[in-house]
Structure 1
Amino acid sequence: MIRFGVIGTNWITDRFIDGASKLENFELSAVYSRTEDNAEAFASKYQVETIFTDVEAFVNSDSIDAVYIASPTALHSEHAITCMNGGKHVIVEKPFASNEREVLQMIETAKRNNVTLMEAMKTTHVPNFKLMKESLDKIGPVRRYVANFCQYSSRYDKYKEGIVLNAFKPELSNGSLMDIGVYCLYPMVALFGEPTRVKATAYMLESGVDGEGTVTVDYPDLNGVAMFSKITNSSMPSEIQGEKGSIVIGKFSDMNDLKIVYHDGTEEVLDTGQEENTMYYEAKSFIETIEDGKIENDVNTWDSSLATMRILDQAREEIGLRFPADQK
């Protein structure tokens, strides 16, 4: 049994717990929040008695083996390093950190403490992603990768009223690129590696973060486009184009509604019947990595996290998106 503590008491933590709870070797044993009221309210939903409002006490607890970190992005590195120095395995919500420098520090801390460190990018762990990857040969040489993830944030309504919530604060290393764009870019790296060129454009908000944007990349044999937004919606699917056909993807983050459309018009549905809550798969893989005695996950590798973060850093440089974390 792997006993988990959680940092972050928001909806994404609820989703992780819901998915992980389907595993026999998962146990939620502790909750950390900056305020006692939030910690108690969240813990009571899961009948958890152990709560913390002090991070040092949390990481030194002998009732925790591993930690799921879903704090604001600006705190990912700090929380992960503190937990790993306390001997805890950590799975950190995407994006892994604010910049490449922080990711490198996290990796070094994992090595020094011999603990598991993994980025919680669920997309690359779902069975449909593996099936899609195995189907690339069916469409011939891939020439274009188009990832589209545009999701209007309810917090944008508050923003337009003059209330800037966490999703649009540069001091928390947030914005459309970091929160949504990473879903488009990490799977691309997992499929094709690190690109040779990165360009980006964005619509910048007055708060200092991007509301929506586009990243284009080049590989020796293909081009990639990632479109993302927190201020608009899109019903357009994503697509991987090959010389013999295309793989069309409905919901990109979950790899749902996949099909191959061949040049002759015939279609082939790609579906493994995966779990509805796809966070189940990242939790399962993380726990298996711990049980196997490995400090690095075989799918969400540190190289993939570093390459993705370098793309994010280059894209931010292109659009002029600066975080206070970059100055540390």
Structure 2
Amino acid sequence: MVRFGVIGTNWITESFIQAASEIENFQLTAVYSRTAEKAEQFANQFDGAIDIFTDLHTYFQNDKMDAVYIASPNALHAEQAIQAMQHGKHVIVEKPMASNTREVQEMVDTAKDNNVVLMEALKTTFLPNFQAIQDNLHKIGQVRRYFSSFCQYSSRYDAYKEGTVLNAFKPELSNGSLMDIGIYCIYPMVALFGKPKKVYANAYMLGSGVDGQGSVMFDYNELNGAVMYSKITNSYLPSEIQGEDGSIVIDKISHPTKVAIHYKDGTIEDITRPQKENAMYYEAKGFIDAILAGQNESTVNTFERSLTTAAILEESRKQIGLPFPADKK
């Protein structure tokens, strides 16, 4: 049994717990929030004896907790994860893993020094339908282009336009469209093709200092990459991996539920696989499996992939003019 604590009493934490509860080795034992009332309200949704904490230092000293799921604002990920790992806790931290490459490297070093598992909670790469893409990639011949689109209008943008800047649009919290949405396009590309040679980014910047939307181009030796992302518009385009013999069409890059190969002779092969509705199940299971196997890192969401993705995000931010306070530390 792996006993979990959580940081972040929001909908994504609730979704993670619901998904992980389907795994026999998962047990929720602790909840942290800045206020006891909020922590109690959140904990009361779930069964079992769950301890409530409002002090992080005391929380990480809790000997009834083996692992922590962190879903706090991006700017807090590194500090909280490092503190947890220094107390011997395994850590799964929501994407993006941290504000910049330096922080990610510090987190990786801490995981190794304390012999605990550290994993970025990017769900796409654990899904059966992403594995279907990997297993069938050879069928489309030499890959020439990777294209992904994830544009999802944020309800928080309505509040922004009315004059209320919520967390999603605050640079001091290391937020913005690239960090929140664009990573879903970039991380799978890194998992499939590794580190690109060059990155070219542009974006539409909001008055709060973060990007509302943007696009990034990538150069590899044998292929080009292109991603589009937005929190201020919707898109209904699928994503696509183009090869010389055919193309793999993906309905939604963040959560693929339908995947098909369109061959150049006009035939179509459906390579979709069954998968659970709550996609977070697979990342939770991958994390728990890594703990039980005595590993430091996931074999899917590896340290290298997180570091490469962090470097791409950081370079893209430099090009679009999006500094974070965390970059100056």
TM-score, with normalisation over the residues of structure 1? 0.99
Q: Aligned partner of 1:109: which letter?
A: T
Deviations 1:189-225 (A, max 9, x none): 0000000000100000000000000011000000001
Residue 251 of structure 2: SS of its match in structure 1? strand
Measured on the aligned residues, the alpha-carbon RMSD in Å equals 0.7
The aligned residue for residue 8 of structure 2 is: 8
The aligned residue for residue 87 of structure 1 is: 88
The aligned residue for residue 132 of structure 1 is: 133
Alpha-carbon deviation of 1:272? Answer: 1.4
Runs of 4+ in 1 over 2 A off after TM superposition: none
Where does structure 2 lack aligned partners over 5 or more consecutive residues? Answer: none
Residue 45 of structure 1: SS of its match in structure 2? coil
Residue 256 of structure 1: SS of its match in structure 2? coil
- Map of 1:116-195 to 2, 5 A cutoff? 116-195=117-196
Give distance in 1, aligned partners of 2:236 and 2:199.
Answer: 25
The aligned residue for residue 36 of structure 1 is: 36
- Map of 1:304-323 to 2, 5 A cutoff? 304-323=305-324
Contact 2:129 2:258 in 1 (8 A): no
Count of matched residue pairs:
328
Deviations 1:62-119 (A, max 9, x none): 1100000000000000010010011100001000000000001001111111111011
Deviations 1:112-171 (A, max 9, x none): 111110111111111111111111111110000001000000000000000000000000
| Identity of matched residues, % | 63
Q: Aligned partner of 1:28: which letter?
A: L
Moved more, 263-272 or 184-193: 263-272
Contact 2:34 2:54 in 1 (8 A): yes
Give distance in 2, aligned partners of 1:36 and 1:160.
Answer: 32
Where does structure 1 lack aligned partners over 5 or more consecutive residues? Answer: none
| Alignment of 1:105 onto 2:101 | no
Deviations 1:26-68 (A, max 9, x none): 0011100111121111111114531101001110001100000
TM-score, with normalisation over the residues of structure 2? 0.99
The aligned residue for residue 68 of structure 1 is: 69
Give distance in 1, aligned partners of 2:147 and 2:193.
Answer: 13
Give distance in 1, aligned partners of 2:115 and 2:10.
Answer: 29
Residue 186 of structure 2: SS of its match in structure 1? helix
Q: Aligned partner of 1:14: which letter?
A: E
- Map of 1:256-295 to 2, 5 A cutoff? 256-295=257-296
